[in-house]
Chain A
């Protein structure tokens, strides 16, 4: 895994707080100039992972390497890393300008250059004219942008961003996403980004790390994660999905909802119970009677760019996204091409219902059970 480009490397990191395991043997390599996003539900350990790299938490077990050197226990001010904190942590006794200037001043950058860089950075985050404002009087979104500017102005090798756009409205958030991505490319800074907005993760990142309960479930490019989720949990978290019980009758044939359909997966063994994942936008709509499934539109909600329909196909209900409106009560046909049928190893049923509420271990045991059943 480790190539010469690796800048940060986490090796079997575990963290415990008061005997409670918060991170469980996670390993992650981040390349130089890469944009990596940690994605996962609240409390899964995203902030803790950042704090380990920032130097604010010492791992209970495991090692962390920066540029090939082990940096366990190295204090934060000696790391070439800056952080945009989840709760901003702006200095209340300084105004906007002084907050942004802080790191440059500490690192004894000459006055002339400091002024230039702070000005540039404030323009970048749309806060020109706010220089002399006290940070306490700013709105949440404005504070957040000051926090971004304060970290970014130092041109660190690595920038850790903990939900840096959480307090912004949708429009500003989209703008800042593009801006941050541009800055990252231009300054060639490695970004480790935390969000629980899957769309943000997929649009901005080179690689996405999906976490749950202190474990990493999957690491991959946005398209990998979206198209080839390792299990129904990731599939569900990364975008809305129909997760259906199915049985892999043989290679390339899966049975679910009373139908035997061709698919592109193999190697599961005969008559293996699996999870079938179908994205709501992947259905093909046809006239009633012409689909692989046919059913009644039970409800429909307008979602801005598409309609979200629940279709009752007799013994099963599917979520279907359409661009055309279908009146509730009308009948339509649904079909799916083999490429869009994603087959996954089975997880416990309640796990899919209560996302992340269960110990992550059960995932492993399920897979192990599945493996033993295969024989």
Chain B
């Protein structure tokens, strides 16, 4: 009984800010402008399949790059002394204190045709290279913005892996790659799945990055949805339907990554 009373504020919060909005989105998605029930919105959202696939594809690439960068980095940090661990984690979080838009603007000016990077390359007699408004720039933006979300969960599981386990593995005949495969990877799996979700989800639904670094030349799901609500293509019903499709995709992703998890370590998801 007691626990029910103490849980009440959270329950209220959850209903107000999670359940009701979700129901509203669902209601929009299944109705037409007149308010009648329809599946038309979902049929229409199928027209945008290429955009959806492109979003997923770019986000997957960004997530993979983040994982490749973050995994060794997190491991290296986790083996340092406590003091230097704190400093390095601080440095990684530092850019996150800056406004998201500002950070992305900074990349715009760097990548522009007459931006800083091309100017520097010009001195060396190279370029100019077309970097802004490419898919590569969008992926770069995603990696740059969401990399900390990969590093932090990985780091937090890796600090818990005692060095003596690595030593025990090599004592029992493991080369570095064996140790990786049989000890480090299984033990850090909860961090890997959490990191993947934490990078993939915001990447697949972003619209700022694609607008600013992709120049709007190719849309992502996020742009599409935003256009339906705030843009000139105004159609909240279609927007809601696409949102639900996106949610469905994300749920599938999470279910897939969860498959790799040990039942006892499911709580890693909550990190």
Contacts and interface: CB of A to CB of B under 8 A. Distances in A.
B172 A82 contact: yes
A140 B160 CA distance: 20
B36 interface: no
B66 to A, nearest CB: 24
Given A106-B173, A106-B178, A76 B167 contact: yes
Interface string B73-94: 0000000000000000000000
Q: Please tell me the size bucket of the interface on B.
A: 10 to 19
Contacts of B186: 93
A283 interface: no
B187 interface: yes
A87 B171 CA distance: 14
Contacts of B116: none
A81 B182 CA distance: 20
A25 B178 CA distance: 35
Interface in A45-94: 54-56, 75-77, 81-83, 85, 87, 89-93
B183 interface: yes
A53 to B, nearest CB: 11
A106 B172 contact: yes
B167 A150 contact: no
Given A85-B164, A89-B168, A91-B168, A77 B174 contact: yes
Nearest to B187: A93
A87 B164 CA distance: 8
Interface in A84-111: 85, 87, 89-93, 102-103, 106-107
Contacts, number: 58
A322 B47 CA distance: 98
A83 B169 CA distance: 10
Q: Which of B173, B174, B182 has the most CB of A within 10 A?
A: B173
A154 interface: yes
Contacts of B178: 77, 106
A154 B170 contact: no
Contacts of B172: 77, 82, 102-103, 106, 150-151, 154
Interface in B172-206: 172-175, 178, 182-183, 186-187
B170 A91 contact: no
Nearest to B178: A106
Contacts of B171: 54, 76-77, 81-83, 85, 151
B130 interface: no
B187 A103 contact: no
Interface residues of A, number: 24
B183 A91 contact: yes
A128 to B, nearest CB: 22
Interface in B218-236: none
Given A54-B171, A107-B173, A102 B182 contact: yes
Given A56-B167, A102-B182, A106-B178, A93 B262 contact: yes
Contacts of A81: 171
Nearest to B168: A89
Nearest to A82: B171
A82 B170 CA distance: 10
Main secondary structure of the interface of B (DSSP, over half): helix
A134 B263 CA distance: 13
A55 B173 CA distance: 12
Nearest to A107: B173
A154 B174 CA distance: 13
Contacts of A56: 167
B183 A85 contact: no
A106 B167 contact: no
Contacts of A83: 168, 171
Nearest to B164: A89
B115 to A, nearest CB: 47
Nearest to A153: B172
Contacts of B162: 89
A56 B175 CA distance: 14
B64 to A, nearest CB: 24
A240 B55 CA distance: 77
Contacts of A55: 170
Contacts of A89: 162, 164-165, 167-168
A33 B178 CA distance: 30
Given A85-B164, A102-B182, A92 B187 contact: yes
Interface string A137-151: 000000000000011
Interface in B254-271: 262, 264
B187 A77 contact: no
Contact of B165 (A91, A107, A134, A151): A91
A94 to B, nearest CB: 8
Interface string A316-328: 0000000000000
Interface of B: 162, 164-165, 167-175, 178, 182-183, 186-187, 262, 264
Given A85-B167, A85-B171, A89-B165, 16 more contacts: A56-B167, A76-B167, A77-B171, A81-B171, A82-B171, A87-B164, A93-B186, A102-B169, A103-B172, A106-B172, A106-B182, A150-B172, A151-B171, A151-B172, A154-B172, A154-B173
List the 4 closest pairs (A to B, CB-CB), nearest first: A103-B172, A89-B164, A89-B168, A76-B170
19 contacts: A54-B171, A55-B170, A56-B167, A81-B171, A82-B171, A85-B167, A87-B164, A89-B164, A89-B168, A91-B183, A92-B165, A93-B186, A93-B187, A103-B173, A106-B172, A106-B173, A106-B182, A107-B173, A151-B171
